[in-house]
Structure 1
Amino acid sequence: MKKTISLLLVLILAAAVAGCSSGASSLGLNVNGSKGKDTLTIVWYPNESAADLKDARDEIGRIVEKATGKKVEHKMTTDYNIAIEAIANGSADLAYMGPQGYVEARNKTEDVKPLFTNSGESGTLDDAVYYSWINVRKGDEAGYKNGDSFAIDSLAGKKFSFVSNSSTSGFKVPAAGIIGYFGKMDKYKNLSQDDLMQGGKDKFFSDVLFGGSHQGSAVNLLTGKADAAAFCDTCVSNYVELADGTANKPGAVYKVKEGAAEPFNTLAGKEFVVISVTPVLNSPFVANTKTVSEEDQKKLVDAFTADDVTHNPKIFLPKDSKATGLFKQKSGNERFLPVEDAWFNPIRELSK
Structure 2
Amino acid sequence: MKKTLLSVLSLLFLVSILAACTSSSANSDDQLTMVWYPNESGNDLKSARDEIGKVIEEVTGKKVEHKLTTDYAVAIETIANGNAQLAFMGAQGYIEAKNKNNSIEPLIVPSGKSGTIDDAVYYSWLAVKKADADQYKVNGEYAIDNIVDSKFSFVSSSSTSGFKVPSNDVIAYFSQQDQWKDLTPEDLMEGGTFFKEVLYGDSHQGSAVNLLSGRADVAAFCDTCVGNYIEIAEGEPNKAGSVYKVKADAAEPFHTVPGEEFTLINVTPVLNAPFAANTDSLSEEDFKKIQELMTSDDIANNEKIFVPADAETAGLFTKSADERFVVVEDSWFDPIRELSK
Give the structure-2-normalised TM-score.
Answer: 0.92
1:120 to 107, 112, 117: 112
Structure 1: distance between partners of 2:313 and 2:140: 37
Give the corresponding residue for 2:140: 148
Classify the secondary structure of the residue corresponding to 1:122: coil
Letter in 2 for 1:151: A
Structure 2: distance between partners of 1:177 and 1:198: 17
Q: What is the RMSD of the two structures over their aligned residues, measured on CA atoms?
A: 1.3
Structure 2: distance between partners of 1:106 and 1:119: 22
User: CA-to-partner distance for each residue in 1:87-108, whole Å, 9 max, x for gaps?
Assistant: 0000011000000000000000
User: CA-to-partner distance for each residue in 1:108-147, whole Å, 9 max, x for gaps?
Assistant: 0111110100000111100000000000001111111112
Classify the secondary structure of the residue corresponding to 2:119: coil
Give the structure-1-normalised TM-score.
Answer: 0.89
Give the corresponding residue for 2:276: 286
User: CA-to-partner distance for each residue in 1:57-77, whole Å, 9 max, x for gaps?
Assistant: 000000110111100000000
Q: Structure 2 regions of 5+ residues with no counterpart?
A: 1-22
Letter in 2 for 1:258: A
- Structure 1 position 154, deviation (Å): 0.1
Structure 2: distance between partners of 1:148 and 1:320: 34
Give the corresponding residue for 1:176: 168
Give the corresponding residue for 2:196: 206
- Structure 1 position 267, deviation (Å): 1.0
Tell me if 1:324 matches 2:314.
yes
Structure 1: distance between partners of 2:311 and 2:177: 46
1:73 to 65, 73, 98: 65
Letter in 1 for 2:139: G
- Structure 1 position 211, deviation (Å): 0.4
Structure 2: distance between partners of 1:119 and 1:205: 36
Tell me if 1:338 matches 2:338.
no
Structure 2: distance between partners of 1:51 and 1:191: 39
Letter in 2 for 1:98: G
- Structure 1 position 83, deviation (Å): 0.2
Give the corresponding residue for 1:314: 304
Q: Identity, % of aligned pairs?
A: 61
Give the corresponding residue for 1:165: 157
Structure 1: distance between partners of 2:232 and 2:58: 37
- Structure 1 position 148, deviation (Å): 3.0
Q: Structure 1 regions of 5+ residues with no counterpart?
A: 1-29
Taking the TM superposition and a 5 Å limit, the aligned residue runs for 1:96-111 are 96-111=88-103
- Structure 1 position 159, deviation (Å): 0.4
Classify the secondary structure of the residue corresponding to 1:265: helix
After TM superposition, which residue ranges in structure 1, 4 or more long, deviate above 2 angstroms? none
User: Which protein shows a greater Rg?
Assistant: 1
Classify the secondary structure of the residue corresponding to 2:94: helix
Give the corresponding residue for 1:229: 219
Number of matched residues?
Answer: 318
User: CA-to-partner distance for each residue in 1:139-187, whole Å, 9 max, x for gaps?
Assistant: 1111111123211000001000000000000000000000000000000
Classify the secondary structure of the residue corresponding to 2:117: coil
Classify the secondary structure of the residue corresponding to 1:43: strand
Structure 2: distance between partners of 1:289 and 1:319: 34
1:133 to 125, 147, 150: 125
